[in-house]
Amino acid sequence: MAPLRLGYCITAHGFGHAARSAAIMEALSRLAEVEFVVVGAVPAWFFAGSGIRLAALHPLQVDVGLVQATALQEEMGATLAALDRFYPLDAGFVGQVASLFAGCRLLLSDIAPAGIMAAARAGVPSVLVENFTWDWIYEAYLDRWPGLAPHVRSLRAIYRQADFHLQTEPVCRLSDCDLRVAPVSRAPRRPPAQVRRLLQVGPEQRMVLVTMGGVRGEPLDPAPMLARPDLVFVLPGSPVERPTVRENLRLLPLDSGIHHPDLIAAADVVVGKVGYSTLAEVHAAGVPFAYVCRPDFPESAHLASFIDRTMTGREISLTRFLDGAWVDDLDSLVRLDSRGRRVNGAPEAARFLSRLLDSGQLGIP
């Protein structure tokens, strides 16, 4: 029997949305014979070793998101200009995206409006997957950037056209939905001890993972970390071509061959930008999280509140993060008790989708 073909349209905003999408695809692949057509600016290596059967991967920009000056700072002027160029979506572009999903029985969209419009064009039911939507993000900037108002209105109208709606905690704006689940994260693949051996971290050494969630990080001064030889610092997204050992630093390229959830599960403490996929993976692993908020990004306050309520974590100011003073906080952080592994929302989301595919609600034979 041929596998069911499903579509996934993923916003062009870092790797967090791609990680959430991959987690749901992985979980659904354990329940049903499925294959996926993925459209979005996601590199092929991101899905390597995932167990996801990809019928096709189309590296197409399907929305704008935010134009970033750095991993922690957006450029709203450039974002507005990009939105004005990209929207309203041209009928030809929507038709092009719809054609990429030919033969799909269901189309999931992780906040990419083009996915919902393409599903409608193709006559395929759509599922919106989100913990925020772009209209909600842009609305927070209206006082300073009133030119965003038309985009807020038009994108909100598109999101309302989705046939089904799935929210994943931490949710920024609660709304009527078909299902709300715990944070969604990809499952680890290797035991922590094996990962630590790969990284040349001894069993008695403390491992600190410094992560910007798949975005090349701020240029951190290595001196404060090198001054702590009792700790091993692992830095994914470093500007190196292959994994590199430099004294007590482990520098990893974005495509290091080591699954990011494995790095988190192997760490004694995680330090870095608070973004959705990092939060979800830390939540699942139960390790302490020293997090840095993006100063103006509306999602950050909701993520920080969730960490403070339900996880072992502590906020680091942006200044302390950039000047290396955060290293002084590590002695207390590594002593924090882990809260243990938590519920991952991916299996529940997959069960919902599996029931949907089996129920006849989709109206497709």
DSSP string computed for 76-121: HHHHHHHHHHH-SPPHHHHHHHHHHTTT-SEEEEEB-HHHHHHHHH
Find the radius of gyration of the CA atoms of the chain: 20
pTM comes to: 0.94
Q: Considering only 23-27, 273-277, 350-354, which range has the smallest mean pLDDT?
A: 273-277
Q: Considering only 20-29, 47-56, 115-124, which range has the smallest mean pLDDT?
A: 47-56
Q: First CA to last CA across the chain, in angstroms?
A: 15
pLDDT, tens digit, 9 for 90 and up, residues 114-133: 999 999 999 999 999 999 99
Average pLDDT of the residues in 214-224: 73
DSSP helix/strand/coil, 8: strand
Strand 244-246 versus strand 249-252 pairing type: antiparallel
Task: Say yes or no: do domains 4-185+345-359 and 192-334 share a fold.
Answer: yes
Domain range annotation of the chain: 4-185+345-359, 192-334
pLDDT, tens digit, 9 for 90 and up, residues 233-259: 999 989 999 999 999 999 999 889 999
Rounded CA gap, 108 and 115, in Å?
A: 7
Rounded CA gap, 17 and 129, in Å?
A: 9
Q: Taking a C-beta distance cutoff of 8 angstroms, is the pair 107, 119 a contact?
A: yes
Q: What phi, psi does 171 have (nearest 5°)?
A: -90, 130
- For residue 151, give Cα distances in angstroms to 10, 93, 118, 120, 356: 19, 18, 18, 20, 31
CATH topology classification for 4-185+345-359: Rossmann fold (3.40.50)
> What is the sign of the dihedral through the CA atoms of 201, 191, 49 and 171?
negative
User: Number of H helices and number of E strands within the chain?
Assistant: 14, 16
Residues near 5 by beta carbon (within 8 Å), at least 6 away in sequence: 34, 35, 36, 37, 55, 103, 104, 105
Q: Binning pLDDT at 50, 70 and 90, where does residue 212 land? A: confident
Residue 267 tokens, joined:
């760490």
pLDDT, tens digit, 9 for 90 and up, residues 127-177: 999 999 999 999 999 999 999 999 999 999 999 999 999 999 999 999 999
pLDDT, tens digit, 9 for 90 and up, residues 288-326: 999 999 888 999 999 999 999 999 999 999 899 989 999
Nearest-CA neighbor of 104 among 177, 12, 2, 14?
A: 2
Rounded CA gap, 285 and 277, in Å?
A: 12
Model pLDDT, residue 269? 95
Average pLDDT of the chain is 93
Model pLDDT, residue 365? 43
Residue 21 has pLDDT above 50, yes or no: yes
Residue 320 tokens, joined:
């302390």
CATH topology classification for 192-334: Rossmann fold (3.40.50)
Nearest-CA neighbor of 22 among 3, 41, 50?
A: 50
Burial (0-12, 13-18, 19+ Cβ within 10 Å), 99: exposed
Residue 54 tokens, joined:
């990809």
- For residue 70, give Cα distances in angstroms to 14, 19, 217, 258: 12, 20, 8, 24
pLDDT, tens digit, 9 for 90 and up, residues 328-344: 989 888 777 766 567 89
Residue 364 has pLDDT above 70, yes or no: no
Rounded CA gap, 194 and 26, in Å?
A: 22
Nearest-CA neighbor of 164 among 362, 22, 12, 365?
A: 362
pLDDT, tens digit, 9 for 90 and up, residues 179-210: 999 999 999 999 999 999 999 999 899 999 99
pLDDT, tens digit, 9 for 90 and up, residues 57-106: 999 999 999 998 877 788 999 999 999 999 999 999 999 999 999 999 99
